[in-house]
């Protein structure tokens, strides 16, 4: 098991470690929503079966079945994309901390995500366009900016 350097010194997680933990958690949350609520006929289902996880996936989906009836569509279809975008932005922030460059990167990532939605609206072969997706993308950029501003996530000056 990988241990962060701060754990070997009984110190709290350093800002970069905390950011990477948050990025991993948001990535995992988006994946969990897919596993629990999206169709297993999608590509992720093939990957799960190829890894020998079909039984575990079926059990988890069985436990989530009662919630599936009340979970809103945006939660199932749009939130995972927003969480994955948030994960990417937090990870980029953890490894690349140049001040203005972060805002440029966030702008580029948001523009690419919205452009993808516009392309989906224009060409049906690319998927289904959704305003909820765009809202989740914008929320991810705002949340990533907020993560950067929290005092406990500021980089130490060692």
Task: Check pLDDT > 70 for residue 71.
Answer: yes
Enumerate the domain spans of the chain. 12-153
Does residue 127 come out as left (phi exceeding 0), alpha (psi in the -120 to 50 range) or beta? left
- List alpha helices for the chain, DSSP H: 15-37, 43-50, 54-68, 73-77, 79-95, 99-122, 131-149
pLDDT in tens, 128-158: 788 898 899 999 988 988 887 764 445 444 4
pTM for the predicted model, two decimal places: 0.77
């Amino acid at each position: 098991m990988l241990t962060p350097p701060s754990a070997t010194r009984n110190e709290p997680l350093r800002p970069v470690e905390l950011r990477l933990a948050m990025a991993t958690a948001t990535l995992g949350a988006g994946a969990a929503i897919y596993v629990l609520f999206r169709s297993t006929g999608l590509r992720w289902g093939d990957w799960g079966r190829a890894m020998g996880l079909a039984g575990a996936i079926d059990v988890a989906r069985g436990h989530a079945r009662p919630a599936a009836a009340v979970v809103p569509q945006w939660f199932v279809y749009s939130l995972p994309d927003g969480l994955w975008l948030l994960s990417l932005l937090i990870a980029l922030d953890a490894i690349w901390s140049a001040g203005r460059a972060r805002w440029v990167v966030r702008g580029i990532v948001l523009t690419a995500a919205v452009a993808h939605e516009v392309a989906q609206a224009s060409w049906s072969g690319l998927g289904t366009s959704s305003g909820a997706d765009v809202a989740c993308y914008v929320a991810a950029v705002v949340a990533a900016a907020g993560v950067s501003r929290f005092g406990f996530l500021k980089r130490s000056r060692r």
